[in-house]
Amino acid sequence: MNEKFYLESDIDEIVNNLKKYHKKIFGKKFLISGANGFLGKYFIKTLLKINNKTKNKIKILAIDIRFDNCELYKNKNVTKIKKDINKIDNYNFKCDYILHAAGIPSPKHYYNKPIETIFTSITATKKLLDYAKKINAKFIFFSSSEIYGNPDKKNIPTKETYNGNVSSIEDRSCYDEGKRVGETLCYFYKIKQKVKCSIFRPFNVFGPGMPINDYRVFPRFFNSIKKKQPITIFKSGKQTRTFCYVTDAITAMFLVTINGKQFVYNIGNDKPELNMKKLHQLMQKSLNKKIKSINIEYPNNYPQVEPQRRCPNITKLKKEFSFKNKVSIMESIKRFYHWSSKYY
């Protein structure tokens, strides 16, 4: 994705949300795996924007298997390593924070690359944890709400203490189980090796910058809208999600990275919980246009089993940081449409 992956106003919003924490990261060094991914790019762009406020520059080591022709990676405060994170043994970068965001989050893509998906959450995680211990850096593991599997009704909204309802032998298991093992590694490095460590469990984060071929709901819907085709809803469309706009998610992730005192945090929005039919209705209302839809079966190249409901309990974020999601679902639809209509 060579085009502009963000709305400038979104980056300004994140930076403003974090203004009381800027001084804590002036002059710090960040190692970011998955630096060319959706969330990795937002972290880098935010850090570089904060750099405009100080002479004591933040430095970034960006690691990914490929890089877009993006202005981020041309900045003098960013160093690139273009290599598979699983195959790197020496980082040669003494940093304060290690953000392990590498992974294959799209169900369509991890369904086609299950082995690679598993090992990115295990092999690379162990290597980076070993390095965090060596240089005394804080380690941040980007896990997923997928580790909860298909929660039963009494555990929705889902707390971090819920152990999950997950199968180890289904189409989605490569991602779910890989992340679960990654979390277990973090747990034992924290209690046995005394590594400073926190875990994010993002719930349906979306926004500008998601690739057109991502195949998650917002890129898929808005790609169809751009082509003036009906949006496709899998099965009955009764499956529900809460959606978190990227500015709120990145704000929460930075708060935890800089000042988080606990081990595991759900990152997401606890309301409204929407089925796909209701999301379709809200899109029409927000954009003030008629959007056709059709119901289809799951494609053959997509996992055939998915959670029927997903909604986080974010009490930890609220209590520790007085956090609140600021961007409504209606506003986030408008922002995504504004960006995707230009770049999709």
- Average pLDDT, integer, range 60-69: 96
Is 237 domain-assigned? no
* Window from 54-58, 88-92, 288-292, 325-329 with minimum mean pLDDT: 88-92
> What percentage of the chain reaches a pLDDT higher than 70?
99
**pTM (predicted TM-score):** 0.95
Bridge partners for 219 per DSSP: none
Is 277 domain-assigned? no
Tokens of 117: 């998906």
The length of the chain is 344
User: Which DSSP state fits 85?
Assistant: G
Number of structural domains in the chain: 1
Is 113 domain-assigned? yes
Print the domain residue range for 195.
8-210+244-270+311-328
Is 257 domain-assigned? yes
Contact yes or no for 169/149 (Cβ under 8 A): no
Contact yes or no for 233/296 (Cβ under 8 A): yes
Contact yes or no for 204/145 (Cβ under 8 A): yes
Is 187 domain-assigned? yes
pLDDT in tens, 130-151: 999 999 999 999 999 999 999 9
The C-alpha atoms of residue 276 and residue 297 are separated, in whole angstroms, by: 14
The CATH number of the domain where 20 resides is what? Answer: 3.40.50.720
4 pLDDT tier (thresholds 50, 70, 90): confident
The C-alpha atoms of residue 337 and residue 155 are separated, in whole angstroms, by: 33
| pLDDT of the residue at 170 | 85
Is 73 domain-assigned? yes
| pLDDT of the residue at 3 | 60
Peptide bond before residue 272 is cis, with ω within 30 degrees of 0: yes
Is 342 domain-assigned? no
Rounded to whole angstroms, what are the CA distances from 10 to 62, 106, 272? 22, 23, 21
Rg (CA), the chain: 19
Which segments of the chain does DSSP mark as H helices, in order? 8-17, 22-25, 38-51, 107-112, 114-135, 173-192, 217-226, 246-259, 276-287, 315-321, 329-343
Side chain identity at 251, as an amino acid letter? T
Is 41 domain-assigned? yes
